[in-house]
Structure 1
Amino acid sequence: MSDQLPSRVLICDDQEMMRVGLRMVVESQPDLTVVGEAADGFQAVDGAAEHRPDVVLLDVRMPGLDGVTAAGRIRAAQPATRILMLTTFDFDEYVFAALRAGVDGFLVKDAPAAEMLVAIRGVLRGDPMVSPSVTRRLLDRFVTAGPGPLPDARLTRLTDREREVLGLVARGLSNAEIAARLHLGETTVKTHVGRILSKLGVRDRIGAVVWAYESGLSRPGETDGRPDRPARR
């Protein structure tokens, strides 16, 4: 049995039943433990400062201080803390703002327990977690509502292969799935992804996905016909 201490989780949601449900899911796992709860945005920021959690589960719509603003304050004070946003489809604009602010991932509140655990462990590993179905819906609503693809000189920095890899990243494929699709080694794909992030000047895969759609490299509605699940590294 591993002697490693369980990862510390702070649960932030204004609905008590949601907090209870999340606590049950988290504490059912030996490698995770709940260190605190928060019912509004200010409590979330204070709780993160007090408990120094490894990951914060944070509702995008919080009373007092909205989740996106709270996430920004937590990120500024504790850069190493991972932030996983919780949302419903009804408030996509908040999720999009959270993505652009650089949170580590998000998932819908009615996701199965197993999917929530995959997302929590993913952000703890440093892998941005995002459901392909939510990404497509967000981008379909916000990117297409804008003035259209914006010219970006960074596109010319990418090789043809890097554009191909980025397109598949934007469709929610993991490195292993991209490797299988392009007949490449997974390490090679990981190297491509690292170079793409560097050339685009974005922090993570989520930033690369948003950039891919805003630049017109990928288009809303493109799918693989695969079951929706969090995208993993």
Structure 2
Amino acid sequence: AELDAVAAEIGAAGGTAIGVPTDVTDPAAVESACATAVTELGGIDLVLANAGGTFPHGTVADGDYDAWRSTFTLNVDGVYLTARAAVPHLRARGGGKILVMGSGAGRRAGPGWGPYASAKAAVSMLVRVLAQELRADRIAVNEIIPGPVHTVLADKVGATGLAGAAATTGPGSPPSIAGIVAGVATEWFKQPDDVTGLTRFLATLPDDGPTGQTFSLLGRDL
């Protein structure tokens, strides 16, 4: 229903959109989604790998291995499978772009963030590998780091979520998003619309434009 509502909103604005629920950790599902886009929309020019998240976990020593694997499967495998499925279609168009949503967590260590931070660091390197592999095909691959954004997922991140005032609830607890923002004077919570400007800008650059780069909206250095 949510996908259909977004597609309807795009249609009302004069665009064409379809909603295709897809499990990005399922290779066949991702390939099917790309094939549907080609069939229904005529091809693929731009891919935004935006799916991601984390699962409850503690420190590396005391955390849950299944949570570690699930976090990597969603964040790293999801980008890998999305790119792998889309590349043949982008090549068929003579070029295109892949944009990947990264995270500042992949650049700054913190206790309790092991699975998510490590997964996002891997995603950042995967972007650079893809950029090198696809440069000759005129397929630009770049990473966007949006920083804290008001989403349903953000409400669940950290030990206390957005409502929490404390940065942590213990030595093995990841900091809440509220705690992270409170600890960096220049950081700010964004609305989803605050991220779309940069995304549109990168989407409309030439295919032989910047590639293998990270574009950050963080209120601090990476």
Structure 2 length as normaliser, TM-score? 0.31
